[in-house]
Amino acid sequence: MKPVTLVTGGAGFVGTNVADRLLGDGHRVRILDDLSRPGVEQNLLWLQAEHGSSVEVEIGDVRSPKTLARCVRGIKGVFHFAAQVAVTTSLDDPIDDFRVNAEGTIRLLDALRVSGARVPLLFTSTNKVYRALPDVRVERVEDRWMPTDFGFREHGVSERRHLDFCTPYGCSKGAADQYVLDFAKSFGLPALVFRMSCIYGPHQHGNEDQGWVAHFLIRALQDEQVVIYGDGAQVRDILFVDDLVDAMLLATRRAGVLAGQAFNVGGGADNTISLLELLDLIDDVHGARPRVRYAEERPGDQRYYVSDTRKLRRATGWEPRVGVAEGVGELYRWLAEARPRRVAAGA
């Protein structure tokens, strides 16, 4: 039997897209997921319907040593996406946030160490490891905040920036980030880290706390109000999920060379958008803007975050291919088609 790739959190948004790509290329995939997030069970059913017996499923907790010992047997690589993903949830329950993100990651790493499996591992970290960029001066330019430093404006945040964890979520993901990098150094695990900006695309069941591009589109489709925290001029670089999967596969193929390194990953300076600009784009694709209510900024929110992706591009030759308008339009069409199915399934 062919070796299998382990995808933790494999029924989630990014996990589903990675698993689908691997399965479509003829690989076997083992999914570990506790199915705790709304909508992910539909992703899993879709993967099974599309790919049949090539999908192995382990319903379980990434913190369980027994579960992990089973999951790492006979694997040829790991994509580690299982996580608590919301800043707000981490503020409500920092202990559980730590246990899922930090403890879950080190237990997976140790399961690999104990098993002797020296296989590529890619871990998805977060831009929250850089805090809210309080030293970066910004100015309001129409519907977006922009850095006053034009060099920073041209390239964004690089991996040379010092780490400064913010919020329990930033701390738990940051701790996991550092453990992954250290296991590469201390134990020779060919592991690397992607510090992620805003990813969007099909199979994303976004909500107010995570997946804001999909969340805004879902609200528009449901004719419901969107809450914007702050003034809406916050800028992010958004990356379509197909481009992310391309980057992940390119990086893991070179894991032996890139092990122990972190890469900032997002759409980069060419794929930026503010929340207000997204509302305008939704008006274009949907024919109406969602209703908006404004609230105070949330702790740790960055008025401007754009990934400097030059290190990743140099290391792998990767280039994002899907522009903002094209990608948002594709996600809108997927959500419009998927929404009746979710309603019928009781989601």
Nearest residue to 124 (alpha-carbon basis) of 268, 262, 301: 262
Count of Cβ atoms closer than 10 Å to residue 168 Cβ: 22
Is 294 marked active-site?
A: no
In 3-state terms, what secondary structure has residue 119?
coil
Q: What ranges in the chain are assigned the alpha helix state H?
A: 13-24, 40-51, 65-71, 87-92, 94-98, 104-115, 150-155, 167-187, 212-221, 241-253, 255-258, 275-286, 310-316, 324-344
Integer Rg of the chain from CA: 19
Q: Kindly tell me the number of DSSP H helices and DSSP E strands found in the chain.
A: 14, 15
Q: Pick the catalytic residue: 169, 179, 305, 332? A: 169
Q: Under a CB-based contact definition with an 8 Å cutoff, are residues 172 and 102 in contact?
A: yes
Q: Under a CB-based contact definition with an 8 Å cutoff, are residues 31 and 44 in contact?
A: yes
Q: Under a CB-based contact definition with an 8 Å cutoff, are residues 142 and 222 in contact?
A: no
Q: Under a CB-based contact definition with an 8 Å cutoff, are residues 5 and 30 in contact?
A: yes
Q: What ranges in 150-231 are assigned the alpha helix state H?
A: 150-155, 167-187, 212-221
- Please provide residue 105's backbone torsions phi and psi, each rounded to the nearest 5 degrees: -70, -45
Structure tokens at 18: 């990675």
Measured in residues, the chain has a length of 347
Structure tokens at 231: 């003034």
- Please provide residue 293's backbone torsions phi and psi, each rounded to the nearest 5 degrees: -125, 135
Positions marked catalytic: 169
